[in-house]
Structure 1
Amino acid sequence: MFFIHLQTEKVKAFKCGTFGASSLRERHLATGDFDGNLNIWNVDDTTSPVYSAAAHKEIINCIDGVGGPMIGSGAPELVTGSRDGSVKVWDPRQKGKPVATMEPAAGEDRRDCWAVTFGNSYNSEERVVCAGYDNGDIKMFDLRMMTLRWEINVKNGVCGLEFDRKNIEMNKLVATTLESKFFIFDVRTQHPKKGFSYLSEKVCVFARCLGMKVLKPKLQETDFNLPLIEPGVPIKPQKIADVKKLLTLHFGEEWEMMADLKFYREIIQRRETTEDQSEDELEGGIMEDIEDF
């Protein structure tokens, strides 16, 4: 098997990119750069872009594509979000100008757009764009009706947005925000006043393991009888079984397969035979294991 490695360098740094509007045969990469330019590159020949537009006045923070590998789900399109507060939809077949622009009216505050995504593209007519902003706003735009369909504020800057699938009727939308929070919206049914139902969770991120300081709050007191975790407060080691349950709760059943958690897994494997030790002995053993790493 042969692998071809392609490397190219351009004058302007790229901020984001996507293959979403490209067919499998074309292999065109759409990029947004720090000067607000939208370019589409043929990855087999990156000498010059096959499409170029001065898309925004400031940096393009985010980009998404739709319609490339899908058949019967509408035209290939790109959406870009920028620090200038605007969200623009582009058809690569139409040179030079966007097919739709969503931006604040004159005199209104322009918020930095951090995330964009396409969804609801289940036929050749329906399609929506969701945009997330630095002030916590999430806005859903209906591209067929050209209206603002729904909006909500989640209080923290929105870092990422994604539908479970782009080419089906809207089902689930996930949003990730600052302060380690994520929101999952059920976008199948929209209440006329309350919008979409959702749940939110704060991801518990362990900076260090067992008996050492944790940077992020918080677990509930009912979680395996563990005390409430506050930032910077050392945690007393619990039984290994409880630690396993704790990791499963916050990282899912497959946490043992995650490379990033190898640290925790190996320490737990070392300590599985020490559950009958006293708390001080257990803590000392775990601290020795941590120092070994």
Structure 2
Amino acid sequence: MSRRIVIGPFNRVEGDLEVSLDIADGVVRSAQVNSPLYRGFEQILQGKAPEDAMVFVPRICGICSVAQSAAAAQALGAAMGLTPPANGRLSADLTLGAENLADHLTHFYLFFMPDFARAAYRDRPWFAAAEGRFKAQVGSAADPVLSARSDLMRTLGLLAGKWPHTLSLQPGGSSCPLQASEKIRLYRQLREFRAFCESTLFGDSLEAIAAIDSEAALDAWRDAHRDGDFARFLAIADDLQLHTLGRATDVFLSYGAYGGNSGNGSDHLFAQGVWDGGLSALDPGQISEDLSHAWYAEAEAPQAP
């Protein structure tokens, strides 16, 4: 006896996914992953003025719109041969960094951890605590997290004028200058978010967290810190052996982030490169996209994205 099961849509992937399983005699004979949502931003931009990209591409996502703005602005700046002034680059980096912080907070508390409060885990030793802390909308973490996120997003009002879909990021840096009083407000807002991270998320100073540089150091830190939400996640991850899922232990790629006027990635805060048993330079020309199972015109071989 055979049957097909279609599971989906899966959320949290910025474009719905569905998985089709063909099962025969209790064994999965075929598994296919399909992304049925077509958005077409590449086609939308065809024939438009280059600067229009900074209006269109932030609409790719209502959560990480600044990341799309930054990519468009940097691509245009590179094409124009522009080097942003130091203050413009720092302002753009702060804008992107504030959104990155908010994204990580949102994903951890609102998207990821609530999954462990589902009844499927009711027999795990940590379930009662996870349900009380992370259950969607009603867990004890919800109110303080939403408050901390709201306060952090105000930094984007200062840095970018509005969020989402700001137009302040430009090829030359940022069009939104900061006055002295706004810098003081920005410092206060970031200091308050730091306090939330240290008291609630980690239960330790950010310097101590940043100093963790190995599995042994992480284990030692966890043994001494059991109260923060990060430690709660580590306990769940160990019990469920989450590190054995998927493939995320061998090859890594980074385009580099924050800073980077050199053109070769040498001055990024987060380095550019490829790790495959050793560090090598990033060559975008080596990146290809296999279209053999996509809804595009057929191609004889994988092509550049």
Report the TM-score range of the alignment, normalised by the length of the smaller protein: under 0.3
**Which has the bigger relative contact order, CA under 8 A and spacing at least 6?**
2
Counting strand residues as a fraction of each chain, which structure ranks higher?
Answer: 1
User: Normalization by structure 2: what TM-score?
Assistant: 0.26
Q: Larger Rg: 1 or 2?
A: 1
User: Normalization by structure 1: what TM-score?
Assistant: 0.26
Counting helix residues as a fraction of each chain, which structure ranks higher?
Answer: 2
